[in-house]
Amino acid sequence: MVMSSLTNTAPAADRFGLAGRPRQVLALYATVLIAAITLIATGLLTTGPAPDGAPMSAFGGLGVAAAVVAGGQLARLRFRLGRGTVSVSWGEAAFIIGSALVPSGWLPLATFVGAAGAWLLISWLSDHRSIADIVHLAASLTVGAAGAALVSTLVGAGAGLDDTRQLVGMVAGACTYLVITLGLATLTLALHRDASAGQILGRALNAKIPMLVGNVLIALLGLWVLLHEPLWLLAFPPALWLLQRTYRHHLVAEEERRVWAAFAKATAALPGLVEADVVAAGLSGAMDVFGARRVEIELRRPGGGLRRYYDDAPGQDVAASGLPGPVITRTMMVAGATVGELTVWLSEPTLPVTRDELAVSAYGDALAGALHDAASHERLTQLEARVARDDVRDQLTGLLNRSALLGDGDRALRAVARERHVALMLLDLRRFREVNDTLGHRSGDEVLTVIAERITDLAREGELVARVGDDEFAVLMPALLALTDSASRLQEAPNPLPQVVRRARDLAEQIAQPMEVAGVRLSVEATIGVVVTPAGLGDAAELIRRSGLALQHAKELGLTVGTYDSARDLGSTDRLALLADLRDALQATDQIVLALQPAVDLESGAPTGVEALTRWKHPRRGHLSPNDFIPMVERSELLGAFTRYVLDRSLAAAASWARAGFDLPVSVNISARSLLDPTLPAQVSDLLRRNHTPPGQLVLEITESVAVSDQEVVDEVLAGLRDLGVQLSVDDFGTGYSSLTFLTRVCVDELKIDRSFVDGMIDSPAAEAAVRGAVELGGRLGARVVAEGVETAEQRVALLELGCTVAQGYHFCQPLPADKIVYALRQLAEAAPAKIVPLRADDAS
């Protein structure tokens, strides 16, 4: 058996083929050659007689033995292993025949001469092997033959050819020959890095074991025929030919199975998302499938030109030894379009077990498809990235566009504490149309690019710069705290508006710096609108709207910088956003909450009722007071749902303190618009029944704005409520223009004096007179009079002196959540017997 690592065709300058060899390979070649020469010399000097019964003389047998060795090598079968080839020969049979013809010490010489001659002929005819390879192959077989002869002599010493012991020795020698030659071939291929040692041994044994058995049997049979019936040797050639074909078929089948298994594995690894990954897999796969010395992939670029990739076999020195073997080049095409070319340098020509051209063509088709898919994916990825960039970036300046500013701006605002101030500057270039009309749109685009660069240069980290219109830019500043002392308390921090205005002026000055466009030196000025607001009171769209108002105001006054003034703002997107949030709040249970404030008897301090005030715990904007959302609710379609929600919560709270032993009514403010709904009495009746609350325990507070044009509908609704037994109260009495008119139409149970009169009654005789008049009017109408907003003991005493008996305010109790109101009512009731202490000189009570 011969196994060899194929090497490149040696250049003329290296006649022996040693250039470019790894140092370990050279050492192995030298060691094996020296060992072979030593063994040949030792065998010749220490040779014994020919085996008993040898059919010819020793010298004649030597010639025949060398010829048999040469014939065994010439009849070799080969298969590829990595980038090397394995030659499976009739070496074991040649050894057994030679053992019967010549003394055992002459076998190394016969083997070297026969093997060298055979491989010189093979190289001359086809393989073109270097002298170094031929000598190494012959020396390796010689070492194997010497070891086999030694084992055979030791086992069959002194026995004749017909002796069984001699036959056993020959078989043991043949096995030794296989082990030594296999070991040397494995070491040679491993040093050439053509394949791993385990792979070499496994595949070689798989191919050689069946042939070893046949070798030994044929050799023993041939030896018997030679000794006893020489004429039967004429029948051996056909038998040997059939056996050779059988071995060949076995190797071909194994090789094709291996090649197509490797092909399937390699093509499965080809698909990838990036061209470089597909090419790397393609090169590696071609190396494994074809055992190639080199693989090149040449790709055609979409815009013209070529890109070449290649990979060389491990340990290959192309510069020193050139590229070996035949070259197969196939054009890779997909749907008629040329992708590139695949070129494979095979290890060795005319391998009988590989259909190389078919395999390369099939592999090239698979590689072309994978490369086409990768290129398509890369183009799609680039297109998606470009589309995504165009979605958020202005194509001319590279700044954020309007939609990106809105999205990124909202996220930036949500990341800031709602109490922190944020700012937005909106810039508009003055008379920019003159630039386009005079210099052309291309020059106008250049001006816009320069302006964008100047704005970006002045922007700070974390600020968002965007182009929001043809000649409009915006700068969102979500971190204004950096303009102040971050260690100071928020309420102590200075107003950031002056700093923002100064930055706007600096920006305007920078923009106005001269620039040269189309050979013309020009200056472009800008007008800037500025808005500064807490982060929780507006989104990015609202900031742009407000800064737009400031910009428009600056243009009207001929200013460079204008600031937002809420007094000039007729509408707010913030209110629109709140409406959407309110719909969600009414579906939740923890956003619209009640703040309950007791009303007390001024003389005893005992609770007489509870007013339900609404608060909104907004998930993003925090706690909102009624003034922040009630006016919006009263103008929206959500009014009915909001009214039912508050009434239901209020009646549920009244039921809770009724169960605790407090028979007190609950007062709920109701919008004038609600009185235009004819179904309101029925809705109130349903809510009273659901919460098991008597109608008299509900007081509906109506503001004086109830004097609407459609009085007939209002009167019908109020009459229906009165029929239910619900009490009616006039809230903020004295502040409207229709109070007395309303009282002549509707019978009310309560008048609530507005807190503005209570606040001024101590120092203002007019306010005192208004309170006195309301108290007297209530007495004449038979209605309770409740004073709102009592905050001091002095106000309490003054109200008692004017005849007012009921009041509410922080002096008695602040608004409380529903889960604390029962405890507060109990405290007020327990403290009721306490007497009022007259004022002392220091105004303390």
Strand stretches in 602-646, DSSP E: 607-618, 622-624
Is-contact 631 668, C-beta < 8 A? no
Q: Write out pLDDT tens, residues 191-244.
A: 765 556 666 666 666 666 666 676 677 767 766 766 666 666 565 567 666 666
Q: Which residue type is seen at 773? A: G
Is-contact 506 458, C-beta < 8 A? yes
pLDDT tier at 709, thresholds 50, 70, 90: very low
Q: What are the structure tokens assigned to 331, written together?
A: 């054009």
pLDDT tier at 666, thresholds 50, 70, 90: very high
pLDDT in the model for residue 317: 47
3-state helix, strand, coil in the chain (%, to 5): 55, 15, 30
pLDDT in the model for residue 809: 92
For the question of whether the overall pTM of this predicted structure is more than 0.75, the answer is no
466-470: average pLDDT: 90
CA distance readout (Å), 172 to 92, 152, 486, 561:
10, 6, 94, 106
List the single range of 125-139, 431-445, 540-554, 797-811 with lowest mean pLDDT.
Answer: 125-139
pLDDT in the model for residue 600: 93
d(CA 64, CA 189): 31
Higher pLDDT: 843 or 743? It is 743
Write down the mean pLDDT value for the chain.
78
pLDDT in the model for residue 110: 78
Q: Which residue type is seen at 1? A: M
311-330: average pLDDT: 62
Question: At how many degrees (to 10) do helices 91-101 and 164-191 cross?
Answer: 140
pLDDT in the model for residue 838: 41
Give the residue from 280, 279, 286 showing the smallest Cα distance to 259: 286
Alpha helices in 291-423 (DSSP H): 318-321, 356-392, 402-414
List the single range of 88-102, 477-491, 612-626 with lowest mean pLDDT.
Answer: 477-491
Is-contact 188 25, C-beta < 8 A? yes
Is-contact 77 91, C-beta < 8 A? no
Higher pLDDT: 508 or 637? It is 508
Give the residue from 619, 642, 644 showing the smallest Cα distance to 632: 642
d(CA 406, CA 541): 6
Highest mean pLDDT among 40-49, 297-306, 545-554: 545-554
Cα-based torsion angle of the residue sequence 16, 19, 22, 23 in order, rounded to the nearest 10 degrees = 80
pLDDT in the model for residue 34: 87
- Residue 513 burial (C-beta neighbours within 10 Å; 0-12, 13-18, 19+): exposed
The DSSP 8-state label assigned to residue 66 in this structure reads H
pLDDT in the model for residue 487: 38
3-state secondary structure of 703: strand
Residue 703 has pLDDT above 80, yes or no: no
d(CA 842, CA 845): 9
pLDDT in the model for residue 608: 92
Q: Write out pLDDT tens, residues 295-317.
A: 888 888 766 678 888 887 765 54
Q: What pairing do the DSSP bridges indicate for beta strands 327-334 and 2-4? A: unpaired
Q: Write out pLDDT tens, residues 758-783.
A: 888 888 888 888 889 889 888 888 88
Residue 664 has pLDDT above 60, yes or no: yes
Q: What pairing do the DSSP bridges indicate for beta strands 607-618 and 698-703? A: unpaired
The DSSP 8-state label assigned to residue 393 in this structure reads B
Q: What are the structure tokens assigned to 620, written together?
A: 């993003």
Residue 843 has pLDDT above 60, yes or no: no
Q: What are the structure tokens assigned to 468, written together?
A: 């929001």
CA distance readout (Å), 501 to 371, 467, 508, 557:
57, 20, 10, 16
Polymer length of the chain: 845
Residue 166 has pLDDT above 50, yes or no: yes
